[in-house]
Amino acid sequence: MRRLALGLTALGLLAPAAHADSIVYSKGGDVWAARPDGSAARKIAGGYEHPTQADDGTILAQDGSRFVRLSRSGRVLSTVDSVLTGKPSGIDAVGPFDPQISPDGTKLAYWIGMYSTWHDHGNGINWTRSGPVTIWQSARSGKILGVTHYYSEPSWLPDSTGALLFAERNALTPMVVAAAVGAPHTDIKPWFNDWDVRPAGEDMPKPIGAGELAPGIDRLAVLRGGTTSGAGGLSQGPGNTIMTYAVNLPGLPVLECRISGATGGEFGEPSWSPAGRALAWSEGNGIWTAALGHDCGGTPRLTIPGGREPDWGPAGPGSDRAPTARIPRTIGLGAALPVRVRCPTACRAAIVARRGGRTVGRAQRRVSGRATIRLRPRATRPGALAVRVTLRPANGGVTTINRTVRIRGR
């Protein structure tokens, strides 16, 4: 518990900056974005589901057993395999489920159900335990950063150092824990069980899961089952409710609000606004939002009919805030390579050109807005260059773009 408290209270995020924020969501099998009032809705990309967004506007969505990173214009930035992509036949496993990109855009967490014992040569993992497993990976390279057995439904902490995890069927042990990125199950930080925070007058706990901390770390929203686990209740199931709590770490959360009576009988996962003063969720007829004070004031309203899986973030609905670079495919012998860089927020751009494994040119520059950086490779004959452009925004995250550039003869 001590590490959880330190990891959260030291973030300096108690007064989030104002942004033209947005909600990304799925609708009709496509990824969409809109303003929180439902206006300016636009389709980002088709054929994906479960979209989430980083603070810089980068979107991560699921494509079967894989994940894609998307710009706000729908451009595929990279594709990442899950641990179940291409798994051997006969392996008993389900998922992946609930992919979440970290706020800084550098990491990915999701969960699977693993029920086979085997050695995963491709990922270097010995699967020796059955049950849910949270998987941590790089959102860019796909590198495995660790696994946390027995817990599911990861929800990132605001500083991207870890996540809340859930085990809704735990009876006397915590249903809600915190884990650092890649932490084993033996190193999780317990927080609370529904026993600890259940409403007055209720004798038995109910399953809780699919929660999210507000960016200011002062509020928590979770789904809570409509009945006990023994009676078949699930946090994501018919008759569930949304519960919100005041948070003052390292203490237990304090119950504030209960939202019940979902259209269609079931609530989807809640998502806080960047300022932590409003909440979005889905019901059977679409996405609902409500300004939600600590006194539970506010009137929920249907904001995006037909939408599902909302994720509320600070980027605007139409803003492509991920930095980009355009690299020519050919240059003349002895000519400079012009790389056109766009950084919506200030970033450091670094360019490296290699030939035959040897570096033949470097350039770097700070960019805010648009700029052309010219790199003159040390090449004396026609051929191919491997060019890598790395863009590091000041607000976190890295975009890497690789291109083969051909040098033409005179």
Kindly list the domain boundaries of the chain, sorted by start residue. 2-313, 324-408
User: Does the domain spanning 2-313 belong to CATH 2.120.10.30?
Assistant: yes
Q: For 15-29, 125-139, 243-257, which range has the lowest pLDDT when averaged over its residues?
A: 15-29
Distance CA 64, CA 90 (A): 18
* Alpha-carbon Rg for the chain in angstroms: 23
DSSP labels, 269-316: --EE-TTSSEEEEEETTEEEEEE--TT-----EEEEET-EEEEEESS-
pLDDT tens, residue by residue, 58-103 = 999 999 999 999 988 888 999 999 999 999 989 999 999 999 999 9
Q: Residue 70: which residues within 8 A CB-CB, separation 6 or more?
A: 31, 44, 45, 48, 58, 59, 60, 61, 76, 77
Per the DSSP assignment, residues forming a β-bridge with 120 are 125
pLDDT tens, residue by residue, 226-265 = 999 889 999 999 999 999 999 999 999 999 999 999 999 9
Is the pLDDT score of 322 beyond 80? no
Q: What is the dihedral of CA 134, 61, 387, 393, to 10 degrees?
A: -80
pLDDT over 70 percentage in the chain: 93
pTM recorded for the entire structure? 0.75
Is the pLDDT score of 351 beyond 80? yes
pLDDT of residue 10: 29
pLDDT tens, residue by residue, 371-380 = 999 999 997 7
pLDDT tens, residue by residue, 32-68 = 999 999 998 999 999 999 999 999 889 999 999 999 9
Q: For 147-151, 161-165, 167-171, which range has the lowest pLDDT when averaged over its residues?
A: 167-171
Q: What are the angstrom distances between the C-alpha of 172 and each of 176, 288, 361?
A: 12, 33, 61
What fold does the segment set 324-408 form as a domain?
Immunoglobulin-like (2.60.40)
pLDDT of residue 136: 98
Q: By the 8 A CB rule, do 155 and 211 touch?
A: yes
Instruction: Provide the pLDDT confidence category of residue 18 given band limits of 50, 70 and 90.
Output: very low
pLDDT of residue 4: 26
Instruction: Provide the pLDDT confidence category of residue 395 given band limits of 50, 70 and 90.
Output: low
Distance CA 391, CA 397 (A): 9
Is the pLDDT score of 5 beyond 70? no
Instruction: Tell me if residue 240 falls in helix, strand or coil.
Output: coil
Dmax (CA) for the chain in angstroms is: 85
**Residue recorded with tokens 């970290």:** 102
Instruction: Provide the pLDDT confidence category of residue 6 given band limits of 50, 70 and 90.
Output: very low
Distance CA 342, CA 71 (A): 13
pLDDT tens, residue by residue, 354-364 = 998 899 999 99
pLDDT of residue 276: 93
- H/E run at residue 4: helix 2-9
pLDDT of residue 357: 84
pLDDT tens, residue by residue, 265-280 = 999 999 999 999 999 9
The domains spanning 2-313 and 324-408 adopt the same CATH topology: no
Instruction: Tell me if residue 259 falls in helix, strand or coil.
Output: strand
Q: Where is pLDDT greater, at 346 or 48?
A: 48
Mean pLDDT of the chain: 90
Average pLDDT on 131-157 reads 97
pLDDT of residue 397: 57
pLDDT of residue 320: 60
Q: What is the dihedral of CA 98, 99, 100, 101, to 10 degrees?
A: -170
